A and B are shown apart, each in its own frame.
Chain A
């Protein structure tokens, strides 16, 4: 039987990272993936990632996927696609479906990195065509170039719901509402804010009553829920939609482990049924490791580190690395992982109400409730300062592990400091040169360059813009506030695109100066 040093199941962020670490140290490694394209979810992630440089922050997910594939390839990792591992048997044997045959092979070590699948919720009409998972919508848009629908309602305000809502907007869909039964937004505030400012309404403490339609979705009714998640009669709202997108969490795809007799636990904090494993992915089956969402739902950046750790642990297990080196290697990966598991959204804070930032500033209640920071809340955050001339305004108000902005500014105008989750502050002594690098570097699209008084009763606001068509200079239209409401007339006075901006365009709009701190999005007249 064909024998490998290491068999990795799943060519997503964790599986590829694991294979890279193993191949680097000489393990004969194969990666099987059932999909026709590698990368797992990475190739659907067209947004820039959070984190620090070591986490590949501000790089778009699909580019990270390409980088991982190239690295794996250069190290001689065999990546087999359209290769479904249908079973994990005794003695670390896998049976793989490849074209019209099944192949048996064994690994001295196996890393299961099969990821997760989407959860569903039920409501009247949930089985109608047109009710789809958010991940499915993302696959349609970003892998296959298919628009999932025209008018979409999104259920779920976690990062998946928020990111996919933004992508639906980018794809030209109308997102009629973003709905969540929880009383506050689950994902990053900056992700919510970039949707809210385009005019998408958020309905927290609401959920779907029913999907309307006979043969397919033609509408949806939502209603407010009380603290016990029971509908409050009389609060129903109806929307005409052709698509209902569900972003209600993920479940680990841990079936291979379970069928092989691995010790499992049902852990709601990890998203469901997961293998019992240590910090480096070692399971109850000797030589079988896990990494990524299959061992607990997190996100791609931590999955990559978990993959590296499992890969390193497998190297040591098979004698390709000494114990002493193992400790050093794992320690550095753990530091990187700890860096990601910080701040308000860290695993240990899940489900907890965080009232204040690490700096002792009250969090924006409006952001959590409506998706945007209200005008009377914004001034209390350290990224917001006022001065003559162009200067950065950083509407970054939650402690998340992300710091590319401080390195982006060549003049040193922005500081986060050693603590990666600290809110960015403006360095008063530094002089902004209006280069726009900070705007493009912010994965949350939360940095604006503002000149509050241009001397003629106008102000300019430079904002990140990732939509098509790109308005030309001279285009007239409306400036929208953080809530997505029209605040005033606006005219595009500058459009900047540069390789260094990595596909984020910078739009500079001119508005009456009293709107300098209110105008945050541009909608051209003909829209």
Chain B
């Protein structure tokens, strides 16, 4: 469901915090400060943050950091966490080797 959001709304300046160097997305090594700065640069949705910084694009696909990133973005925007839709989920649910993904079983166990 789309909400009309004017990206010119004033959210105040980015003020550095002492714990901005803390890693939030472990897979892609994205820090709290990078996430906070990105919000002030206009990345206001979880999807935009992910595309801009790669949070949640690593091996765990955001299972670990999704809520953490969301908490930071929500606080920076001054909105409740539930107002931010999590980034999309994609196939595969777990990382899979190219040779396995390519190897489609036929019925009866033979391969194409």
Contact = CB atoms under 8 A, between A and B. Distances in A.
Interface string B68-112: 100000000000011011101111111010011101110100010
A267 interface: yes
A267 B82 contact: yes
B40 interface: no
Contact of B66 (A98, A103, A251, A268): A251
Contact of A102 (B22, B61, B104): B104
A117 B96 CA distance: 20
A268 B92 contact: no
Contacts of A254: 89
B94 A84 contact: yes
A101 B24 contact: no
A86 B61 CA distance: 13
Contacts of B51: none
B10 interface: no
Contacts of A487: none
Nearest to A265: B82
A87 B93 contact: yes
Contacts of A37: none
Interface in A260-288: 266-268, 272-273
A56 interface: no
A127 B65 CA distance: 12
A127 B64 CA distance: 12
A293 to B, nearest CB: 14
Contacts of B90: 259
B88 A259 contact: yes
B105 A101 contact: yes
Contacts of A259: 88-91, 93
Contacts of B103: 100-102
A67 to B, nearest CB: 28
A338 B103 CA distance: 47
A2 interface: yes
A415 interface: no
A331 B89 CA distance: 35
B53 interface: no
A199 B36 CA distance: 42
Contacts of A117: 63-64
A258 B101 CA distance: 21
A124 B19 contact: yes
A266 B85 contact: yes
B11 to A, nearest CB: 21
Contacts of A1: 107
A34 B68 contact: no
Contact of A255 (B61, B68, B100, B111): B61
B93 A120 contact: no
A507 interface: no
Nearest to B62: A255
Contacts of B66: 251
A266 B79 CA distance: 14
A472 to B, nearest CB: 47
Given A124-B22, A255-B89, A259-B89, A103 B94 contact: no
B20 to A, nearest CB: 12
Contacts of A273: 86
B37 interface: no
Contact of B92 (A87, A124, A251, A258): A87
B38 interface: no
Nearest to B85: A266
A258 B32 CA distance: 26
A266 B107 contact: no
B65, B89, B93, B101 interface centre (most CB from chain A within 10 Å): B93
Contacts of B100: 97, 100-102
Interface string B19-42: 100111010000010000000000
Given A101-B111, A102-B104, A86 B26 contact: no
A103 B101 CA distance: 9
B23 A258 contact: no
A127, A251, A266 interface centre (most CB from chain B within 10 Å): A266
B104 A104 contact: yes
A182 interface: no
Contacts of B23: 127
A86 B107 contact: no
Given A101-B104, A122-B22, A122-B68, A258 B88 contact: yes
Contacts of B64: 117, 120
Nearest to B18: A124
B91 A86 contact: yes
Given A97-B96, A117-B63, A2 B107 contact: yes
A98 B105 contact: yes
A251 B23 CA distance: 20
Given A102-B103, A122-B24, A97 B111 contact: no
Contacts of B88: 258-259
A341 to B, nearest CB: 23
A227 to B, nearest CB: 18
A85 interface: yes
A102 B24 CA distance: 33
Nearest to B66: A251
A517 interface: no
A457 B12 CA distance: 73
Given A100-B99, A268-B81, A268-B82, A85 B104 contact: no
A382 B74 CA distance: 47
Interface of A: 1-2, 34, 84-87, 89, 95, 97-98, 100-104, 117, 119-122, 124, 126-127, 251, 253-256, 258-259, 266-268, 272-273
Given A86-B94, A101-B103, 5 more contacts: A97-B94, A101-B100, A102-B96, A102-B104, A122-B22
